[in-house]
Structure 1
Amino acid sequence: AGLLGSAIVMGVKRGVFANEAGLGSAPNVAAVAAVKHPGAQGVVQAFSVFLDTFVICTCTALLILLSGFYTPGFEGDGIVLTQNSLAAVVGDWGRVFVSVALSLFVFTCILYNYYLGENSLQFLTRNRTVLMLFRGLVLALVVWGSMQNLSTVFAFADITMTCLAFVNLVAMAMLFKVGLRVMRDYDEQRRAGVDQPVFDSRKFADLDLDLKAWPAEPSAAAQAEPQGVPAAQR
């Protein structure tokens, strides 16, 4: 029971760290997607979690287990283990490939999370001093993380992401009933044979919706669009 529980805890921590499910960061990006129904974007976001956790992470684990490099009691970090496992299958260039891929992944993740953090901060305050303090804190954390070992960085990330998850889970609990209503509307249209369900804000008059984003008569708004113009240009 202890072994199984430990494996589940480690899997959940690494899984959440990989796909950010439940942390509230992905909705910031998903919210700017141009879709006819919010339920459609929700399906895409759910598929991204499946793709990351069940496909990519499983492939990495199978590579390590089937490469023959891993032995019980291995004390190196996961990156070294992945590099050596790939090198055992495809040759020494596998280590270079993992290093380059990881560098690009880390760089884009830093920019992505910084962008989300700055946007959230500007929603709360436009004070430039606060913004400069935030930027300084981000740079300090990047320098600190580059000087620490991987276990320390992961431990720090686990603590901070747990705090982030608690805040987001409270918001999700408050929005649970609204989310179910939107999901039911999407599912009902799909069961009725509608290929691309359309969100009609008239069905949700009690909610504080942005009518520019979700018009009360979506079919009429679609007909008002200029004809013969490619969707990309519109």
Structure 2
Amino acid sequence: MLESEVEEVGINAVLSKLNDVMYTYVLIILLVAVGVYFTIRTRGVQLRLLKDGIRSLLEKSTETKEGEKSVSSFQALMISTASRVGTGNIAGIATAIAAGGPGAVFWMWLMAVIGGASAFVESTLAQIYKVRQDGQFRGGPSYYMEKALGKRWLGILFSILLIICFAYGFNGLQAFNMSSALEYYIPNYSETRIPMILGIVLAAATALVIWGGVHRIGFITSVIVPIMAMIYILIGIFTMITHITELPHVFAVIMENAFDFKAMAGGFAGSAVVIGIKRGLFSNEAGMGSAPNASASADVEHPVKQGLVQVISVFIDTLLICSSTAMMLLVSGVQGVSGELDGIPFVQAAISANVGTWGIHFITFSIFAFAFSSLVGNYYYAESNILFIKNSKKLLFVFRLTCIVAIFLGAQADFSLIWNIADITMGFMAIVNIVSIFLLGKIAFRALENYEEQKKQGKSPTFRGEDIGVSDTVWK
């Protein structure tokens, strides 16, 4: 083994250990505790006001003073969903089932329902503390850490973590998963020059989009994501209908494996609980602090409206798309084995068993469509945080170049190393954001009370910062 390969194995072993400790002993407690607390304090807002979120989603965008179209709730939802609905919904579910068993799916479902309340709080806060830059709204956790907590240093720390996670970790991972989808077609794929060529193509295509600004990103994601998500869900429904007699057994296996305490005692870090929560967080991002960056870009009349819209994104991601993947895998009879038949190859083998070889080609196309929309959605998050640190055109230009390089290298990366980097940076991000939204939750609760009071009076809710005792905001 070459010296560089030995070093990489050593680094990966350290990252794996840190990964296990973070998710087993820190994040599980934080995510569940804060999600349950927000659910209780908002009286289950993620389910109770779901209809209001759907109505808000259908509201049209307005024009800015400069005559440009503002970003609508729907476009903001699609930017955040573009980031959520990526290869995590396909490769991530396959990895979870292969490593943690079918029970991991239950814990992903549970995290989506509980996490909906956290998604509501963080996105509502992002709307309250957003700013206007160059005619566009921007915001996110860094902004409410600075404005509401008065800790700019914490906002900068969060921004750095998000940039590493999304621009380099997640986008490298999306590029890797697109690359691995081609293994089925090309013998000895990793030994060819195809990964490098694909990396060049992906980097060039992403560059064309990100130099076009937020409106182009919003347009791309609002077209690609709904179409591909709907087709993917229909394939999942078709698979479930054609295997309907097997579904009771599949649900029984999921529930039995979810509460396999013997397996948990043997190794909690690798259990369905930990892996389900880890992959669930990677997939729906509730409480992680990523979606608020998109939420802040929307032009709405009340912050709560966008908070409710972002709950829908969590549900679309996990309860619809992730469930579609899980059902396709579990009714196929194909066994996933962590490290052997894992990620995209596992999904391709399963869908081939379900609907024939044409399904493999569909999965390949889905991976490319979902992953590319994620590349641009992830980039938008990172750009907002670069601008928070310093609004400099030179810095932004250099940052964009590094993003392109990360995508190029990601197409040729090592599977376990890139997952570990993404998981760890995501974990640190989530810890910083969860603590912050817990401290600021009362502001979101007051905004929710203000929204519901106006609804009771028969008004169409509008918002002013002074109504809930906040200042230094764009809400006059």
Q: Normalising TM by the smaller chain, what interval?
A: 0.7 to 0.9
What residue number does 1:94 align with?
A: 359
What residue number does 1:186 align with?
A: 451
Q: Deviations over 1:117-173 (max 9, x none)?
A: 123212321345533442343233223322223322211110111122123223313
Where do 1:31-46 residues align within 5 Å?
31-46=296-311
Deviates more, 1:87-96 or 1:167-176: 167-176
Deviates more, 1:128-137 or 1:93-102: 128-137
Structure 1 pair 174–208 and aligned structure 2 pair: CA distance change class (3 A): farther
Task: Tell whether the 8 Å contact from 1:37 to 1:197 is kept in structure 2 after alignment.
Answer: yes
What residue number does 1:147 align with?
A: 412
Q: For the residues of structure 1 that align with 2:338 and 2:418, how far apart are their CA atoms?
A: 22
What residue number does 1:7 align with?
A: 272
Deviates more, 1:117-126 or 1:47-56: 117-126
Counterpart among 135, 144, 154 of residue 400 in structure 2: 135
Counterpart among 340, 350, 357 of residue 85 in structure 1: 350
Structure 1 pair 207–3 and aligned structure 2 pair: CA distance change class (3 A): farther
Give 1:65 shift. Answer: 0.7
Deviates more, 1:99-108 or 1:124-133: 124-133
Unpaired runs of at least 5, structure 1:
216-234
Q: For the residues of structure 2 that align with 1:193 and 1:82, how far apart are their CA atoms?
A: 51
Q: For the residues of structure 2 that align with 1:99 and 1:77, how far apart are their CA atoms?
A: 15
Q: Report % sequence identity.
A: 38
Where do 1:50-61 residues align within 5 Å?
50-61=315-326
1:208 is aligned to 2:468 = no
What residue number does 1:222 align with?
A: none
Q: For the residues of structure 2 that align with 1:124 and 1:95, how far apart are their CA atoms?
A: 43
Give 1:46 shift. Answer: 1.1
Q: Which TM-score applies when normalising by structure 2?
A: 0.41
Q: For the residues of structure 1 that align with 2:377 and 2:362, how far apart are their CA atoms?
A: 22
Task: Tell whether the 8 Å contact from 2:450 to 2:468 is kept in structure 1 after alignment.
Answer: no
1:197 is aligned to 2:457 = no
Counterpart among 157, 161, 176 of residue 422 in structure 2: 157
Give 1:208 shift. Answer: 2.5
What residue number does 1:28 align with?
A: 293
Deviates more, 1:120-129 or 1:45-54: 120-129
SS at 1:182 equivalent: helix
Q: For the residues of structure 2 that align with 1:132 and 1:162, how far apart are their CA atoms?
A: 28
1:68 is aligned to 2:328 = no
Q: For the residues of structure 2 that align with 1:52 and 1:189, how far apart are their CA atoms?
A: 31
SS at 1:208 equivalent: coil
Give 1:200 shift. Answer: 4.0
RMSD: 2.4
Task: Tell whether the 8 Å contact from 1:77 to 1:150 is kept in structure 2 after alignment.
Answer: no
Give 1:93 shift. Answer: 1.0
Q: Which TM-score applies when normalising by structure 1?
A: 0.79
Q: Deviations over 1:60-97 (max 9, x none)?
A: 11111112223678831121111121121221111111
Q: For the residues of structure 2 that align with 1:85 and 1:195, how far apart are their CA atoms?
A: 51
Q: For the residues of structure 1 that align with 2:296 and 2:374, how far apart are their CA atoms?
A: 19
Higher RCO (CA-CA < 8 Å; seq separation 6+): 2
SS at 2:323 equivalent: helix
Q: Deviations over 1:33-73 (max 9, x none)?
A: 23222112111111211221122112211111112223678
Where do 1:88-127 residues align within 5 Å?
88-127=353-392
Unpaired runs of at least 5, structure 2:
1-260
Give 1:32 shift. Answer: 2.2
**Larger Rg, first or second structure (1 or 2):** 1
* 2:263 aligned partner, one-letter code: L
Where do 1:163-178 residues align within 5 Å?
163-178=428-443
Structure 1 pair 196–98 and aligned structure 2 pair: CA distance change class (3 A): farther
Q: For the residues of structure 2 that align with 1:44 and 1:78, how far apart are their CA atoms?
A: 30
Give 1:26 shift. Answer: 1.2
Structure 1 pair 70–189 and aligned structure 2 pair: CA distance change class (3 A): farther
Q: For the residues of structure 2 that align with 1:28 and 1:102, how far apart are their CA atoms?
A: 24
Structure 1 pair 177–105 and aligned structure 2 pair: CA distance change class (3 A): same
SS at 2:411 equivalent: helix
Q: For the residues of structure 1 that align with 2:387 and 2:406, how far apart are their CA atoms?
A: 20
Task: Tell whether the 8 Å contact from 2:450 to 2:467 is kept in structure 1 after alignment.
Answer: no
Give 1:195 shift. Answer: 7.1
Q: For the residues of structure 1 that align with 2:419 and 2:460, how far apart are their CA atoms?
A: 41
